[in-house]
Amino acid sequence: MKKWLFLMVSTVLFFSGCNRVQTGDQESDEALAAFNAIVKANLDRKGYHDALKHWGLSLPGGAKFEWTKDTSANNIDFAMVIPAEPFIRAGLDVNRLNGTGYVFQAVKLEGGEALPDLLLHPYNVSDKKENAQGSEDALRRIFKQKNGMVQYHKDLQHYRLFLYNEGETPFEVQWTEELGLNGADITFVIPADGLIAAGLDINRLDSGWVFQPASVDAEASTDSGMGMGSNPNQLVAIYSLVN
């Protein structure tokens, strides 16, 4: 009898564990699962930067999306990493980026590798100490710290990660709910006006960036108070990955 009781309790605990919310939010859980599936299908694009304590997913054309292992390690918990050369060729003055949400990193050597000129958008979530075990656990812990960072877009069938706070210029990383669904596996959405004010001529910008004029997104929820139903002038880059 005791043996059967033990088996019943173990079974209940097992299924309870399977159904446990990982981040404290179902939408974030689903977004996490979708992103992890993308990474697992593209392990050759996954990397780790020990000095920054960052995991990263390299994208076609030299862009990268990074997330931290430990939110107390520095004040860059997420980073959008974008090759700067196409923007500079199109007139961008990198000395006029103050207050735009962009940081310019000039070409440099790092670990024996030459890094090109880069535009970075860093985002800080918190200074909480974390000890994540792997890239999946690292992202899970960040989402658990800040529910509401991710929202699902039903019409476009993708998740939107908002890397800005209320009142700030909006930056987004988007990913598909299923690889190969529509060719837009990962999408970078960045504000255009600050770059234009710093000299960028959008008509000369190439390398896959597309200008998207200001619009209202009826599908985007404004429940978080971040004003995500309204989109400013944006630049969009779509990346298709292996599936």
Alpha carbon distance 203, 210 (integer Å)? 9
Please report whether residue 122 resides in a domain.
yes
- Does the residue 33 lie in any domain? yes
Closest CA to 236 of 179, 189, 183: 189
Paired tokens of 166: 């209320």
Distance between CA atoms of residues 242 and 59, nearest Å: 11
Residue 75 counted as domain residue:
yes
Contact (CB, 8 A) for 76 and 122: yes
Sheet with 78-83, strands from edge to edge, namely: 46-49, 54-58, 64-68, 78-83, 118-123, 103-105
In a domain, 233, yes or no: yes
Q: Give the C-alpha separation, 160 to 237, whole Å.
A: 14
Rounded average pLDDT over 220-231: 50
Backbone angles phi, psi at 21, to 5 degrees: -70, 125
3-state SS, one letter per residue, for 11-37: HHHHHHHHCCCCCCCHHHHHHHHHHHH
Q: What is the mean pLDDT of residues 148-163?
A: 95
Specify if 91 maps to a domain: yes
Average pLDDT, the chain: 87
Provide the pLDDT for residue 236. 98
| pLDDT for the residue numbered 218 | 58
The pLDDT-based confidence of 224 (bands split at 50, 70, 90) is: very low
- Phi first, then psi: give them for residue 48, nearest 5 degrees: -135, 135
More confident residue, 213 or 115: 213
In sequence order, what are the residues at sequence separation of 6 or more whose Cβ sits closer than 8 angstroms to the Cβ of residue 2? Answer: none
Q: What's the average model confidence in pLDDT over 119-139?
A: 96
- Does residue 2 lie in a domain region? no
Identify whether 135 is part of a domain.
Answer: yes
pLDDT confidence of residue 7:
40
pTM of the model: 0.86
Average pLDDT over residues 116-122: 97
Give the 3-state secondary structure percentages of the chain, helix then strand then coil, rounded to 5. Answer: 25, 30, 45
Q: What are phi and psi of 98, to 5 degrees?
A: -55, 130
- Of 98, 66, 77, the closest CA to residue 169 belongs to 98
| Structural domain count, the chain | 1
Q: Is 31:13 a contact under the CB 8 Å cutoff?
A: no
Q: What is the 3-state secondary structure (H, E, C) of 52-106?
A: CCEEEEECHHHCEEEEECCCCCCCCCEEEEEECHHHHHCCCCHHHCCCCCCEEEC
Tokens at 232, concatenated:
């400013």
Residue 1 lies in a domain: no
Structural domain boundaries, residue 80: 22-239
Q: How many CB atoms lie within 10 A of CB 124?
A: 14
The residue that leads in pLDDT, 137 or 8, is 137
Task: Give the mean pLDDT of 33-42.
Answer: 97
Percent with pLDDT over 90 in the chain: 73
Position 140 confidence tier, pLDDT thresholds 50, 70, 90: very high
